[in-house]
Structure 1
Amino acid sequence: MDREERVHLVSRNTEEVVTEDELSAIFAESETPTVYIGLAPTGEMHIGHFTTMRKLADFLNAGLTVKVLVADLHAHLDDEKSPFDLLDARTDYYQEAIEGMIDAAGADGSQIEFIRGRDFELERDYSLDLLRMAADTTISRVQRAGSEVVRQSDNPKLGGLIYPLMQTLDIPALDADIAYGGIDQRGIYMLSREILPEHGFETPICVFAPLLSGLSGGKMSASDESSKVNLTDAEDVVIDKITDAYCPQGEVEENGVLEYLRFLVFPILEERGEPFVIDRPEKYGGDIVYDDYDDLEADFVAEDLHPLDLKKATGAYISDIIDPIRERFAAQRDLLAAAYPEKYD
């Protein structure tokens, strides 16, 4: 695979790459650059996470070394979103869920290196570098950087101010050339690009995934069950959620159904070498087969594809895609119960 193909694999279906020139250059310098993503083990993982994790299959296929940081300390520092006594259980759950998503996306989850925050973030050198960064970084600067990630208040806890600096320092601590995350992480990683060179580290390349709209319209909410598909939702629940989803005829903006298709379903079908098939009775035109998402979107915008037909097919495909993950956790209810006792005990 040549350099251009590798750059395409890394950058496709992303929101932004900072910068593509730097990405191309790193492939010229290194045969196996390292990309990392950090996830704080807080609430249960859902299809929004799956869309982000699916991208790791592209990274593996492009020949990158992939590291996943399960950022347990971050989960507690951000306004104690995870109680300290649940960190180990939630970390175990996140690792299992991520491996399941990677396998379901058609890649090999065993090729990914998992690291836990406490494995290195308590070391002497890390602490010293963190304190040096804290000494010359203002409160307003870190608040601005973490505004889309860390819980904000008029009287913030100190943990939320340390969080962006730790996320910045995680990049060189993990020997990562590329930092990957949702576009909501942009503020923190732009801070990283500014201050890491000031402390003798390399400027990281940043790759950002899009954030999906909620099924009820607007931003997806982890607290709104109707706005997302959970990885453990039963088939009938998935289909009901998609059937009830916001999907007005011809509209693309804030259309979670189309976003699920673009960023999750079609990339996985491409990996499998399969088309997207919409079953329709002959009196309504018969079945429609799509090999390309853009063709489907064009038909939807032109109102040649009815929302109900689209939603029925999408629900079935999404249920099929998450089925291996659903089965994985059906056999490990104790893992879910340990991580989220208030829901599964």
Structure 2
Amino acid sequence: MDTAERTELVTRYTEEVVTEAEIEALFEERDSPTAYIGYAPTGEMHIGHFTTMRKLADFIESGLDVTVLIADLHAHLDDAKSPFELLDSRSAYYEAAIEGMIEAAGADPDGIEFVRGTEYQLEDPYTMDLYRMLAETTLSRAQRAGSEVVRQSENPKLGGLVYTLMQSLDVAALDADIAYGGIDQRGIYMLAREQLPDFGYDKPACVFAPLLSGLSGGKMSASEETSKINLTDDDDAVAEKIEGAYCPAGETEGNGVLEYLQYLVFPVLEERGEEFVVERPEEYGGDLVYDDYDDLETDFVSGELHPADLKPAAAAGIAAVIDPVRERLLNQPELLEDAYPEKYA
């Protein structure tokens, strides 16, 4: 695989890349550049996380060395979303869920290395670098960088501000050439590109995933059940949520059903060499078969593909992707009970 092919794998299905030329240079300079993504183990993982797993599968295929940070300290620093006593159990759940999603996305989970924040964030040189960043970063700069990630208020807690600096520093601590995350992480990684060279580290290239719209319209909300599909939802629950989803005929803006297809279902089908089939009665034109998302969107916008026909096919496609992950998690009931006792115990 040449540099152009490796770069295409890393940059496809993304919202923004900073910069593609830097990623090309990394592949020219070394066989196995490094990449990292971090997840704070707070609420249950859902389909929005799954799209980033599909991207990690691309990273692995391109020859990147991939590290997944289970950012346990971050999970408490962001307004105590995870109590200290649940950090270990939720971290274990996140590792299991991520392994399941990586495998379902068509890659080998052994191709990633898991690291927990508490393994290195409590000792030198990390702590000394963090103190230096705290001394040199203004309150307004830290707030601006983390404005899309941590909870904001007129009187913010210090934990959320330290969170932002720690995430910037994680890039260097994990020796990552490429920092990967949702587009909401952009401010934090731009801070890393700005500040890390001052501490003797290279600035990272950055790859940003799009944030999916919620099924009920607008931004996906982790606290709104109808807004997202959970990894433990069965096929009936998936079908019910998709049936009630915001999907107006011909409209693509804020259409979570289309986004799930574009960023999750079609990439997985491509990996498997399969097509996406929309079943329709012969009186309405018969079945439609797609091997490319753009063709599906064109038909949807033109009116050739109606939401009533698309939704059942989308539900079946999404369920087929998450089914193996659901089975893996439900076969470990103690994992769910320990991590989320209020729901599963």
Q: Which TM class, normalised by the smaller chain length?
A: over 0.9
1:153-192 equivalence runs, <5 A: 153-192=153-192
Distance in 2 (alpha carbons) for counterparts of 1:224 and 1:52 = 20
Structure 1 segments (4+ residues) deviating >3 Å: none
Question: Cα offset for 1:199?
Answer: 1.2
- 1:266-322 per-residue CA deviation (whole Å, 9 max, x = no partner) reads 000000000001111111111110010000000000000010110110001111110
Distance in 2 (alpha carbons) for counterparts of 1:174 and 1:20 = 21
Asked whether 1:50 is paired with 2:50, we answer yes
1:157-236 equivalence runs, <5 A: 157-236=157-236
Deviates further, 150-159 or 288-297: 150-159
Distance in 1 (alpha carbons) for counterparts of 2:137 and 2:246 = 43
Question: Cα offset for 1:131?
Answer: 0.3
Residue identity matched to 1:134: L
Name the counterpart of 2:264: 264
Distance in 2 (alpha carbons) for counterparts of 1:279 and 1:217 = 25
Residue identity matched to 1:196: L
TM-score (norm 1): 0.99
Residue identity matched to 2:179: A
Residue identity matched to 1:56: L
Residue identity matched to 2:176: A
| Structure 2 SS opposite 1:223 | coil
Distance in 2 (alpha carbons) for counterparts of 1:23 and 1:234 = 39
| Structure 2 SS opposite 1:66 | strand
Name the counterpart of 2:140: 140
1:306-325 equivalence runs, <5 A: 306-325=306-325
1:110-125 equivalence runs, <5 A: 110-125=110-125
Distance in 1 (alpha carbons) for counterparts of 2:320 and 2:136 = 50
Name the counterpart of 2:278: 278
Deviates further, 150-159 or 305-314: 150-159
Name the counterpart of 1:255: 255
Name the counterpart of 1:243: 243
TM-score (norm 2): 0.99
| Structure 1 SS opposite 2:125 | helix
Distance in 2 (alpha carbons) for counterparts of 1:287 and 1:161 = 53
Question: Cα offset for 1:198?
Answer: 1.2
- 1:123-182 per-residue CA deviation (whole Å, 9 max, x = no partner) reads 121100110111111111001000000111111111111111111111111110000000
Name the counterpart of 1:82: 82
